[in-house]
Structure 1
Amino acid sequence: MCLSAPQLVKLCSGMIEAGKAYVSANKLFVNGVRDLSQQCKKDETISVNTLISSFRLFQILFDQAQRSVKQQLHNFVKDDVRKFKETKKHFDRVREDLEIAQVKNAQAPRNKPHEVEEAAGTLSITRKCFRHLALDYVLQVRQMTLNPCLRIYSMFLLYIQQSSMEKREMEHKHATIQQRDFSYDDSKVEFNVDAPNGVVMEGYLFKRASNAFKTWNRRWFSIQNSQLVYQKKLKDSLTVVVEDLRLCSVKPCEDIERRFCFEVVSPSKSCMLQAESEKLRQAWIQAVQASIASAYRESPDTYYHLDRTASPSTSSIDSASEPRERSGRGESILQRIQCLPGNQQCCDCGQADPRWASINLGILLCIECSGIHRSLGVHCSKVRSLTLDSWEPELLKLMCELGNSVINHIYEGSYQEQGLKKPLPSSSRQEKEAWIKAKYVEKKFLKKLGSTEILINGERKSERRWSAEAEPETSDPEDMRDLHPGALLCKASKARNLPIMAEALAHGADVNLVNDEDEGKTPLIQAVIGGSLIACEFLLQNAADVNQRDARGRGPLHHATYLGHTGQVCLFLKRGATQNDGDEDGQDPLSIAVQQANADIVTLLRLARMNEEMRESEGPFGQPGDATYLDIFREFSHMASHNPEKLKRRSVHFRHSFR
């Protein structure tokens, strides 16, 4: 229980009143002893007198308590606490003035020197005033803590000495403040990558929000545990800006209106920050760079066991069949991907145990090669972490369909014939970068289309067979070498053969090719007709247009709805497929699904339409989607990938009429 000062005074008064009663009883007792002593011998009289003297000490003690303890507590409550509250109010007002001055200084545009000078001058004066008041405030707090104790125990001499010493120290500090330059606050300039508590650097920065208004907010930032994090208030939980500093870069920004800005760029986002001075900006940039270098020196495995509660994006791979369970099943899926041929090593340099992936290529990479891939741009390679990012089930199955051996048989088919050597894990970054650009951008190591043998599930397969499963009904005697890449992509998409689709794309096939010989059907529409959710995912990852229509006005969503492919409908809606326009018969996907009595697809389409209407009603800055809507789509995605039999058509008699 926490007592207030008045309650403490009341308890002290009660103690003194009880003491008075005790002293009165003692007086009666002492008088009785004195009467008894007159009848005793001389030695006994001396002992009795000593006893009487000790009892008199009790009376003196309570008199002292009455004068010193009670009175001093009363003075403490009446005067000291009141003065402290007044000082605290003054301190809070000056602190608010300082925050306002900091915001105005940060907002001063670099192209208006007079505003910059005025804001900087105001900030410097306010900082000095704040520091002076802070010293007085600290002294008063300390004196409030000491004064009652010193008064109660009558340690006046010690108190005076200590108080005088503190006053002299404060006077010296006030003089130091007066001489200092407060154009910036350098209290947090230093950083230490080997700090015992793991905090490399911390301090206030302005952060530009990612909303449409691009507002700036002052937050407490820190670099710790190879992450960049911030808090709104001291007791708030940490918000992670960069999950792994090895994946980011930092650079000063001079092309925006505000001064002292720098940008921290990571694979998933960029964060614009502003320091309060050029010196502080340089210190933060150096601290981030030093932390990146330190993180690279550490063992890579240290960064694959991050706190999964820090941020939603740091969760492990979701289980395919149990989306709410994460740990055990996630690891088994990761192991399944890593066990594919060639996936035990980085696809480009051979580094063991790769933990990064290019999802549009279907390969695994080490962290250094993944950084080089990221620099190529998402049109060439989309990099994702196997352990730090969440994975959709269809994307996991896509990764299991390809792998390093399959892709290297395509993209490295001729490098040995050219007398070239592949980089090693010990090769320099420049060598690896040159190799990766030549391999994926310039495509210097491709063999002639149709002349490469591709590994499928660890075995060499002839590319004259269209289906990866080599099913008789999907085989085609036509020779690949007679087809141009676009036609090959269309055939392979319909036949669900991802290795041949990958080779066609490597040889320059247009992922959005319009096949005039087949009613303008695109490769994505052919993948829908072939019934492969994974082929659709592969094409979408490689920039296929989810809304491109054929000659009859039917897009991939129309075809998937007609054919009753619920998983594909879910996939296309998640990727932004529109459903408001009708085909040449005036039918949109929802009317088609209602006509065919496919309850699952009707549900998905109606939810998507309702969600779109909700977003439109909220204006341009509305939320990306209702939580219930997203949960339902997530469940359909898992079911389509792992239990497709639960989504089978309830009616099939329209399928033949559509074809």
Structure 2
Amino acid sequence: MIEAGKAYVTTNRLFVSGVRDLSQQCQGDSVISECLQRFGDSLQEMVNYHMILFDQAQRSVRQQLHNFVKEDVRKFKETKKQFDKVREDMELSLVRNAQAPRHRPHEVEEATGALTLTRKCFRHLALDYVLQINVLQAKKKFEILDSMLSFMHAQYSFFQQGYSLLHQLDPYMKKLAAELDQLVIDSAVEKRDMERKHAAIQQRTLLQDFSYDEPKVEFDVDAPSGVVMEGYLFKRASNAFKTWNRRWFSIQNSQLVYQKKLKDVLTVVVDDLRLCSVKPCEDIERRFCFEVVSPTKSCMLQADSEKLRQAWVQAVQASIASAYRESPDSCYSERLDRTASPSTSSIDSATDSRERSVKGESVLQRVQNVAGNSQCGDCGQLDPRWASINLGVLLCIECSGIHRSLGVHCSKVRSLTLDSWEPELLKLMCELGNSTMNQIYEAQCEGPGSRKPTASSPRQDKEAWIKDKYVEKKFLRKPPSAPAREAPRHWRVQKCQRHHSSPRAPAARRKVRLEPVLPSVAALSSAGAGERKFRRDSLFCPDELDSLFSYFDAGAAAAGPRKGAESEESSGEADGEAEAWGLADVRELHPGLLAHRAARTRDLPALAAALAHGAEVNWADTEDEGKTPLVQAVLGGSLIVCEFLLQNGADVNQKDSRGRAPLHHATLLGRTGQVCLFLKRGADQHALDHEQQDPLSIAVQEANADIVTLLRLARMAEEMREAEAPPGQPGALLGTSPTELQYRRCIQEFISLHLEES
């Protein structure tokens, strides 16, 4: 305006017009609107008196508004850019956390840590962003008022010519000054309160762990809006690349739908939830996955955490049950009566579905016939249909959900009716049971606050009991504080000498091996007709592997009384050690040594008790060639004990002081069933011991045709996976290719040879 002095009058009128326009823009605030309106009217009459004072007044008005726009508003815009960038970083961290493979703990830990840091940074920056918004909105008021008031005071002080005109505004300006002071005070108080809240939230966030970062998710089947649950999930595409995309899913009106964006058209995944089933998936590379299966297709979904996955599974199950209650169709009711859980209410229209149901019922009946398994091991609910496979107990659906929340390092939950059960796992569940395990975990449950919940108890009571029982282990029998528990070596001198570990055993003894009766080729080939693809964690097709396992396990049991090298080295030695060890009190043994003893003597309850009392499942005994409990189980000859240790985290590839892993020992002793189990659990068959021998070379040296053929078939499977994998995707699943057919023929020839030899 100074530079445009030649057009002073015009410019001043434009300024007055701008003040009036600003008054119209601030109609929402009566104080600012009234102030600008009255000052604008007065200024319109004072246009001819502004020439002298204009420069000083312009500086007073322009400088404050310039600071507000150039500093405060610019700082706010920079914060907004940072906020947008951190938000994008959090989205990338979510994707990386979801993509972290299950079998790479370091990548999972790194992705989880990055996600935690990004979330905390996002929360802190969001708080700063909201704080600046509120401060800017509050500051806008008194900045404008202060500028205009300063301008008007300058007019009053220096323009004697306009005194008579400004005199009538003097009372109003005094009143406005008082209101401005109060506005400044109120703004300062509000800013201080917001800063205190900001600091308190930051302090609380620093003290909280990652569990706080997980959003609390709840579902309501009877929601008035019809939306039972909604949120983001990763969905695996049905194309050949199996890509994962993040979509907004919701359960509403008995349907499962999703949207790419919030305002996009809904895409229906499941048209009628009554026709589908849902189950968690633990056999794929990604974590927190669950599958929704309908009669026409299946949909693989992934949540952001285990808690979210459990919530989604329960929401789908509850929606299925609610849909049946709302539409009590006869055929649906009939199917619902056949299942105890809503998640099992799928249409049994095909023959394979009926066979699966019959198989599930047989598993349920066999496991429930074990002592104490007729009711839930934690709350007593009748007809439990869920199991903790590493603890060996049966659970109701509510207690199984609590067990899942403990994490797989504490309890691995599986359904007796929905999931497939391997023969070794089924035998393990039949060996343990609720009565046996409760004698261990509830040995001393007396005392205040330790009352066992019932089926009708609230969920929080059951959750507290289960955590005290399995996590805190408050009810275990307290071991005596004896010196033997600190340095338990008194039983070591009583062990029998082992000669089977030497590779230089006489040739006559090496050639003696079990020759069990084999199943027919037709039975094995028909067993693989249901599923034609390999699992990533297995070297064989599921049905073929289970058939082979059943054959080897049954053969080992049938050949137990035989008088050969293996019977001398396994059962005879184990019985001798069991008799020697029986001289010591079990309770006086160190948990680690007790685990070794129990694994060697096939005492599964004692082994479970040792692990409950804190025995390290991978503890290597330095005084016994660095052997682990899993190696002791191999020496003892129990395949079920090996399965129990593997389910509880035993390392299948841990070596002893001679460089031998459990697969080496099983091959050396001719334990075909254990070799099959270790290969199924991912044992490294290429590992070399200190004598530079791998399991295959040991099997050739021991002249064991069973194990030699089994190991060669396993290597063939590895070579096929590598050869038939697409570029950039190693280890692809095998389909019905010519190579796979050749592999199946090899297995049939393997069985035919043993039939002829029998």
TM-score if structure 1 supplies the norm length?
A: 0.51
1:207 to 235, 244, 265: 235
Instruction: Give, in angstroms, the shift of residue 421 of structure 1.
Output: 0.8
| 2:439 corresponds to | 409
- Name the counterpart of 1:598: 704
Q: How does 1:472-511 map to 2 (within 5 A)?
A: 473=576, 474-475=578-579, 476-511=582-617
1:580 aligns with 2:686: yes
Amino acid paired to 2:698: I
Cα distance in 2 between the residues matched to 1:405 and 1:293: 31
Q: Distance in 1 between matches of 2:413 and 2:671?
A: 29
Q: Is the 2:386–2:400 contact (alpha carbons within 8 Å) kept by the matching residues of 1?
A: yes
Which whole-Å deviations, capped at 9, do the CAs of 1:181-238 have from their partners, x for residues lacking one? Answer: xxxxxxxxxx99699xx99899x998355999854398999778798899xx999999
| Paired positions, count | 406
**Could you tell me which residue of structure 1 aligns to residue 345 of structure 2?**
306
Counterparts of residues 234-253 of structure 1 (less than 5 Å): none
CA displacement at 1:333 relative to structure 2: 3.2
Match of 2:245 in 1: 216
Provide closer, same or farther for how the CA distance between residues 492 and 622 of structure 1 changes in structure 2, counting only shifts above 3 A: same
Answer yes or no: is 1:518 the counterpart of 2:547: no
Cα drift, residue 614 of structure 1: 3.3
**Does the 8 A contact of 1:246 with 1:296 survive in 2?**
no
Q: Give 3-state SS (helix, strand or coil) of 2:703's partner.
A: coil
**Matched letter for residue 622 of structure 1:** P
CA distance in 1, matches of 2:442, 2:596: 24
The aligned amino acid for 2:474 is K
Task: State the partner residue of 2:502.
Answer: none
Deviation track 1:120-155 (CA, whole Å, cap 9, x = no partner) reads xxxxxxxxxxxxxxxxxxxxxxxxxxxxxxxxxxxx
Alignment match, 1:337: 367
Provide closer, same or farther for how the CA distance between residues 192 and 562 of structure 1 changes in structure 2, counting only shifts above 3 A. closer
**Structure 2 residue aligned with 1:359:** 389
1:348 to 1:237, Cα distance in 2 relative to 1, 3 A: closer
2:660 corresponds to which letter in structure 1?
A: R
Instruction: Name the CA distance, whole Å, in 1 between partners of 2:413 and 2:706.
Output: 33
Corresponding position of 2:407 = 377
Identity of aligned residues (%): 57
Q: 2:721 maps to what in 1?
A: 615
- Determine if contact 1:201/1:222 at 8 Å carries over to the other structure: yes
- Structure 2 CA distance for partners of 1:377 and 1:234, relative to 1, 3 Å: closer
Within 2, Cα distance between the matches of 1:632 and 1:448?
A: 58
Which amino acid in structure 2 is aligned with residue 216 of structure 1? N
Letter in 1 for 2:685: Q
Q: What is the identity, as a one-letter code, of the residue corresponding to 1:381? A: S
- For 2:377, give the aligned amino acid: C
What is the match of residue 539 of structure 1?
Answer: 645
Report the AA paired with residue 697 of structure 2: S
User: For residues 622 and 209 of structure 1, do their structure 2 counterparts lie closer, same or farther at Cα, with a shift above 3 Å needed?
Assistant: farther
Please state if 1:439 is matched with 2:469.
yes
| Aligned AA (2:383) | D
Distance across 2 between alignment mates of 1:613 and 1:214: 26
- Describe how 1:39-438 pairs up with structure 2 within 5 A: 111=84, 207-209=235-237, 214-216=243-245, 266=290, 271-272=301-302, 293-294=318-319, 301=340, 303=342, 305-307=344-346, 326-328=356-358, 330-417=360-447, 420-438=450-468
1:74 maps to which residue? Answer: none
Q: Which amino acid aligns with 1:306?
A: S
Distance 1:354 1:417, change over 3 A: same
- The letter for the 1-side match of 2:468 is A
Over aligned residue pairs, what C-alpha RMSD do you find? 5.4
Query: What is residue 657 of structure 1 aligned with on the other side?
Result: none
Judging changes above 3 Å, is the alpha-carbon distance between structure 1 residues 620 and 335 closer, same or farther for their aligned structure 2 residues? farther
Question: What's 1:548 paired with?
Answer: 654
Q: 1:365 to 1:315 in 2, by over 3 A?
A: farther
Question: What SS is found at the alignment partner of 2:414?
Answer: strand
- Residue 399 of structure 2: SS of its match in structure 1? helix
The answer for the alignment partner of 1:87 in structure 2 is none
Contact 2:255/2:268 (<8 A) preserved? no
Aligned to 2:26: none
Give the distance between the partners of 2:464 and 2:689, measured in 1 at CA.
48
Checking the alignment, whether the CA contact within 8 Å between 2:381 and 2:396 is kept in structure 1 is yes
- Report the CA distance shift for 1:578/1:289 in structure 2 as closer, same or farther (over 3 A): closer
Amino acid at match of 2:367: I
Deviations 1:221-267 (A, max 9, x none): 9778798899xx99999999x9656979xxxxxxxxxxxxxx98649
- The answer (yes or no) to whether the contact 1:380–1:440 under 8 Å persists in 2 is yes
Counterpart in the other structure of 1:564:
670
Deviations 1:355-399 (A, max 9, x none): 000000000001111001001000000000000000110000000
Secondary structure in structure 2 of the residue aligned to 1:301: coil
Q: Secondary structure at the match of 2:340?
A: helix
Q: For the structure 1 residues 368 and 226, does the alpha-carbon distance in structure 2 shift closer, same or farther, using more than 3 Å as the test? A: farther
Structure 1 residues 548 and 302, CA, compared in 2 at 3 Å: closer, same or farther? closer
Cα 1:293/1:387, change in 2 over 3 Å: closer
Contact 2:228–2:250, Cα closer than 8 Å, also in 1: no
State the 1:580 CA deviation: 1.2
1:321-363: per-residue Cα shift (whole Å, max 9, x none)? xxxx645454233212101111111111111111000000000
- 3-state SS in 2 of match to 1:509: coil
C-alpha distance 358-525 of structure 1, shift in aligned 2 (>3 A) = same
Asked whether the 8 Å contact 2:277–2:346 carries over to 1, the reply is no
| Aligned partners of 1:489 and 1:509 also within 8 Å | yes
Contact 1:226 1:291 in 2 (8 A): no
SS across alignment from 1:373? helix
Amino acid at match of 1:447: R
Q: Is the 8 A contact 2:619 2:629 kept in 1?
A: yes
Counterparts of 2:391 and 2:288, CA distance in 1: 27
TM-superposed CA distance for 1:612, in Å, is 2.3
Alpha-carbon distance change, 511 to 270 in structure 1, aligned in 2, over 3 angstroms: farther
Residue aligning to 1:159: none
What amino acid sits opposite 2:624 in the alignment? D
Q: Distance in 2 between matches of 1:439 and 1:378?
A: 16
Shift of the alpha carbon at 1:553? Answer: 0.6
Give 1:582 deviation, angstroms: 1.6
- CA distance in structure 1 between the partners assigned to 2:404 and 2:280 by the alignment: 10
Using the alignment, how far apart are the partners of 1:632 and 1:410 within structure 2? Answer: 50
Looking at structure 2, the residues matched to 374 and 446 of structure 1 have their Cα atoms a distance apart, in angstroms, of: 22
What secondary structure sits across from 2:611 in the alignment? helix
- Structure 1: which amino acid aligns with 2:590? H
Is the CA contact (8 Å cut-off) linking 1:357 and 1:364 kept in structure 2? yes
Is contact 2:277-2:344 (8 Å) kept?
no
Using the TM superposition, give the Cα deviation of residue 621 of structure 1 relative to its aligned residue in structure 2, in angstroms.
2.5
